[in-house]
Every structure is written in C-alpha cells, then in structure tokens.
Structure 1
C-alpha cells in the first residue's frame, strides 16, 4: 500500500503534463495514460557521463517517468568528487562511476532499470548508440561532445531533396556547467544546429608561453603544463599523451609536483592536474541541479510532445543574482557533421587502403589512423588488435566490392585529426560515389562538389 501511494505521489506532476491537453503541446501530442505507459515501456535514453551533472541527470530522468536508462562513463570515483556528486560515498572511491550511479538510483527509484557501461565512449560500436531514442550529455569535454555529436549526426539520412528523414533523426540534449554558469540545449540533427555548427560558442583553451613554462613558472598550472607539454615528449619520445589514461595522468602529476617543489610553488594536486590538462573547471552542485532539471524536462518534451521544445540554447548565470536566457542559433548549412555528408568521388578500382590514404590527404578531413564502416559492418578497424587483424585482409580489396557494388552510398570513418598540437578523435559521414557506374547521374556528381 505504501509503495502504491508513493508511486501515485511521484507521478502526480507528470500526469498533469501527460494526461491532459494544453496550448503549448507538440503537434503529435495525444494525452492519456497510454502515453505515460509508452514512456515507461518503450523510451530508451542514454546518459553520457556519470559525474556531477550525470548523477543529477540519472536521478531526474528516473523521477520523470523514464524506466529504461543506460549510462556510460570511463572514470572511477575520486575523493574530490564527493562534494558535488551526491550518488557516491567514501566507500565508493576507486569504483566505476557508471556502475555506482546506476546502482544508487535503482535503489532509490523503484521500477527503473539502469544499465551501466564502464568504458570509453569510443569503445562502443556505432550501432550501440543507434539503439536509443534520445542521447543526453553530461560531459565536461569539448572533444567528447564532438564525438557523440558526430555519432548521432552520422545516423541522419537525407532524401533526394536534401530534407532530413525523420525516422533517422537521433535527438540529443546537452548540458554543461562551469562554476555558477551553465547551459542546456537540444540538438535535433538536420533541424537545429548541431554541436559542430556552434563550436565557436566555446572559448579557446588558455595557452601558456613555452618560455614561461620552461624558464620562469609562477603558478601550479605552469608546472603541470610543463610536465604535460615539455617533459612528456622529452621522456616518452614518439608516444602520444592520452589524457584519458590514468597512468599517463599520474605521471604528469608526479612530474608537476617535482617541478613545483623545485621552484617553491604550492598547490599542485591530482585533481588540478586533471583540470589543467583536460581544461576542466570544477562544478558546483546547485548549478548541476538547475541545468539537469532543464535537460530532463527537454528530454521529456522530446519523448512525449507534451510541450514545445527549447529553441534551442538556454544559458544560466548565477554569479550575481539569477539570469537565464534562451537564444535560437541557426544551423550551418555547410556543416561537415550534420549536413548530407562530404562527397567523395572514386574510381571503382580504388582499394580500401588507397581510400584510407586519400582520407589523410583530403583538405576537409585530414584524418589519420582511419577506421571504416558501412551499414554497421566493419571494413577496417585500427583497434583493438583483434579487430585490426580480422579486417586487415580487406585493405587490398576494392572498396566498390566491399560496399556490395552500390554506386552511391553513405559510409562512416573514424580517426584522429589535429588542431594545432592537439589530436582528437572524430567521426565523419561520407557520401561515396563511384564514377562511371549506372545509377550515378551528373546531378549526383555536381551536388556535393
């Protein structure tokens, strides 16, 4: 009886949105108990990130009627997380964030099922992401956002009039916090601007002069960047630093401590080392709660149509008083990520190896260490080693044959691209057209030039 009353109390406010009509509802909204049941039974939501914002998102989504949730995060719990990531306890230090967060929410919210994934987002096959209706981001990294954005936009297909096919649209809800500031936004690939369309919103990362780092460090950040940018290459010649590798980060921290002691500079901690290297600004619990609430509400709107969605970027500033504002940004019609895809014209004789070489030379791509897939089938994978060995024999085969002799089709490539001295993982969608094949018209060839 008590459980039944608690369930009714929890769904009271939700029922006000889902069981009755309104003036702000979406065009397909049909109120009634069936909608609430469908939300619980069929809506599948992936939360990316189980940190400060991710913990709030899991809790809010579970309390908003979503029952089928999954969460992915590669980090383990640290003592410094406990002041704002409320699902974790001291005895959880060292455990995977995703697993502990899922367990704690399921303990508190009856009926919800949360599947945790303790791994890098790049470790999952693309089809893993395609299984979800909505992807919600609680990330602290521009690179990670760009990757998930490219994955979701990669599922988007356009018709012959370059209109997005509705059934291929994978909506995303993105939240971010920075001290007392935050944002919530919706990304509907092909309709609203994607993350890459508005990448200019994010300020450039602070850079320190190398002469200061090498000769006259004055702050803890200088010592950390010295270990990261100078000392690492001196000691690990030829080995790329991986900010997501705990052993690499621990090495930088230890070297930064030595550097700081040499110059009498206090303040180097492991947490600060992570923040400087990955450009992370510590979050505040209240900001996380506000932004998570906005993201959870937008997710509910997308899933049910109970109200029109945000148009399309909300900013929050709690530094001096309280200020919120909604801005409608415009989609970049030439975006390489959410557009119809980059046109690549090839001869049928081109092998997969030659195609991968061309990706490295293409002025709009400049992709190194590329992996290639077609309709979910791995044509060639750079990693892990077992997949590389399994797909290596395809390198000498014609790409035309590997794509089942389809004269024009979409393929996906993942690889690394360089921005200055920084290398980042990315995913790109390509429209491959084979020249001289029946079914390829002059209009096809001209359309993506």
Structure 2
C-alpha cells in the first residue's frame, strides 16, 4: 500500500483489512470466470458473489477447471462457488443462477467492485450502462469500478472502467468486430457451409415455427433445437460439420476459448481488482491488450472517453440523413452502426411512437410506419428516443436532413 510515497509489504495489516472489507461481484463463471473467482479467493478477498445463467456442458471441462463430469447439467455459479469455498478456507462466495438483469439497483449497490468474465457483448453493455446509470454525484458509495476481461483465441484484453470518469464499454464499441452475417438469398436457397444451415435455422426457420418467441442463446433447449434443425438442413444439401458447439458459436458469435489466454487475462483482471481495493499500486489507465499468437505481447493505452457516447457522454448523438430514407432503413442503420449495434430498437419522439418492437399490440399499431419516409414522420432537428433490449438506458438521436 502506498502511504506518502512509501510502499508497504503486501502482507501489511491494512491491506489484509481492505481485502476482508471489500465485497466483489464476479459476473460469469465460465473459462474466464473460474480463473477470476479462484484468483480473487487466493489473493485474500473474503466476500465474493458470482452470477452466471449457464449450466455445465461436457465441452466446458477442458478449460473450466472448477467443474467435473459429475457436475454436467448443474449451475456453473453454484458449482464454482462450492468448489472454491471447499479449497480456500475463510472465503464466502454467494452464487446466483440467473441473469444479471434479474437484479435491481439495491443488489449492485452492496459491492465495491464489479469484475466481468463474460463471453457476451450484450451482457457487458448492460452492466456497463447499469453502473453508469447508478452513479449519484451526491453519494460516493454509488460509484462502482468495473474491471472487464475478454478473450478471443490467443488474444485478450483487460480494462478498468470508472463509471462517468473514464471511457466506458460503450465508448469502445466500434473497436469490436461485428457479427458475421450471411446473405439471406444464400442461406435460403443455396447453402454451402455449416454456418449457412445454422443461420437458416435461427433466422428463417425459428420465427416460422415459434412466431414471436425470441430464442435464448443461453438456453440449451433452444440451441439443441437450432442444432437439430440445422443438421436436417445440412443433410438435404450434403453439408457436414454441423455440431452443437458450432451452432452455439454461430448464434452467440463465440470464438473458441484457450485456457492459457484465460489465465493471463484473469490474472490481469484480479491484479487490477487488488490494486483498486487496496491502493497498493496505481491501477490500469485504462486498457491493456494481450496478443499470444506469435509470442507474448501486451500493449497498454488510455482509451479516450467519447463526449457523444450514448451511455456516459454529455453530448447527444446527432446525424444527417436523407429525408427519403424509410424507417426500416433507419432501423437497419442503427443495427449495423459500429458504435451503436442495437438488436431490436424501438423508436419514438416526444409526441408519437414511430415503431415499437413490443408489446404485440403496439408493434402492430406502428408497423405501417416502417415503409414511410422519415420526412413524413419527423421534422429536421427532431430528437428520436431509442430503446433496445441490449441496454437498460435509452439513446437520444437528433436527426437533421441533408439538403
């Protein structure tokens, strides 16, 4: 711990007290989450919570080392918590088997630090926006640092987000690769790859069979249905290589995880969590990239906060559009825009609903607007309020028309 420039030993009583008093939430108990949970417990943190909505699959066992064959089908969060508590005396870990969206602000207020080991961009965006939204300038206790880690094969990143103070996850959204998409005509008529069959099952066949029910990428039954349906499609066109794991990877846009990369990134995340909790050393400012493809290489830089960030920025988003653009084209643009990447946006102005994804009654009532030009719906200079299932906050988009 640094006191007046003097670094004290890591076994100093003040450091031990800080670790015992700090309550940390770990989000995710998969490959990265298992490493993070184990590292935090061995570092000396005594009060941990863990959230994960997944159950253990046989494919997890090669890298998620807290699990065994007997655990298949059980909750990752529950099994991970029990395993670590058995092996590390004195640590208390409270698991929750469910979604982060299930918890309210009071739940998140109890923690001093939140650490993410997720494989989902949507979940990261949600917790990032939630922590920014919770900040009350009059209440220092409302400020919760977020330590985020992620891996993609031999590459990974660790970052420290101080809500409202540094760049948030949303500020860097355009750095991440967008989901690979395939032409509808190809997946509908001339599939050539296993991915085409999986996309056909998820994009075309699922809504035909299940209607308005949205498939859940974390529901094993939904993934199994998509896998079986895609396999039948593959048989029709003599396409092989369709597996459950590939189906899961395509619909969740997952890149296979590597245990060594998980270990490196988890160590970096826990190191930053330790520094924030104890002030033993300066914490990361604010982004570290790791590349292990051809050796071991790391690069640290300060990612700048964006004034127009829809989550933490002070300036509203603005854009100039063609007045003949239809509402459908605007929605497609919002879904494809690298720094927005919405899934199912609903749009309204101060005076009217432009298009609402739900409930079904409102969707039907506003559906006719989809093919109308924007100029017939809003005036130049109007602000559109956008809500989306991916975010707990709304976005404000000021629209002007090109002359």
Q: TM-score, normalised by structure 1?
A: 0.70
Distance 2:237 2:395 in 1: 51
SS at match of 1:248: helix
How far did 1:60 drift? Answer: 0.5
Distance 1:327 1:270 in 2: 38
Q: Which of 159, 169, 178 is the aligned partner of 1:204?
A: 178
Distance 1:313 1:287 in 2: 16
Q: Which of 148, 156, 169 is the aligned partner of 1:195?
A: 169
1:37: which partner in 2? Answer: 17
Q: Which of 41, 45, 67 is the aligned partner of 1:88?
A: 67
How far did 1:246 drift? Answer: 2.9
The answer on 1:72 being equivalent to 2:37 is no
How far did 1:35 drift? Answer: 3.2
Cα-to-partner distance string for 1:337-365 (whole Å, 9 max, x where unaligned)? 124698xxxxxxxxxxxxxxxx84149x9
1:180: which partner in 2? Answer: 154
Distance 1:311 1:341 in 2: 23
Distance 2:206 2:25 in 1: 36
Aligned ranges for residues 32-431 of structure 1 at < 5 Å? 32-40=12-20, 42-158=21-137, 166-339=140-313, 360-362=347-349, 417=388, 424-428=389-393
Comparing 195-204 and 231-240, the one that deviates more: 231-240
Specify whether residues 136 and 341 from structure 1 end up closer, same or farther in structure 2 by C-alpha distance, changes over 3 A only: farther
Say whether the 8 Å CA contact 2:194–2:242 is kept in structure 1.
Answer: yes
How far did 1:192 drift? Answer: 0.9
Say whether the 8 Å CA contact 1:369–1:416 is kept in structure 2.
Answer: no
How far did 1:167 drift? Answer: 3.9
Say whether the 8 Å CA contact 1:157–1:340 is kept in structure 2.
Answer: no
Distance 1:130 1:311 in 2: 24
Cα-to-partner distance string for 1:380-424 (whole Å, 9 max, x where unaligned)? xx9xxxxxxxxxxxxxxxxxxxxxxxxxxxxxxxx962xxxxxx3
Say whether the 8 Å CA contact 1:24–1:308 is kept in structure 2.
Answer: no
1:5: which partner in 2? Answer: none
Distance 2:147 2:31 in 1: 16
Comparing 263-272 and 309-318, the one that deviates more: 263-272
Distance 2:115 2:302 in 1: 20
Comparing 294-303 and 237-246, the one that deviates more: 237-246
SS at match of 1:39: helix
How far did 1:114 drift? Answer: 0.5
Say whether the 8 Å CA contact 2:25–2:113 is kept in structure 1.
Answer: yes
How far did 1:22 drift? Answer: 8.5
How far did 1:369 drift? Answer: 7.5
Specify whether residues 222 and 67 from structure 1 end up closer, same or farther in structure 2 by C-alpha distance, changes over 3 A only: same
How far did 1:366 drift? Answer: 8.5
For structure 1, list consecutive stretches of 5 or more residues without a partner in the other structure: 1-17, 160-164, 343-358, 371-381, 383-414, 418-423, 432-449
Comparing 245-254 and 292-301, the one that deviates more: 245-254
User: May I ask how many residue pairs the two structures share in their alignment?
Assistant: 340
Say whether the 8 Å CA contact 2:308–2:315 is kept in structure 1.
Answer: no
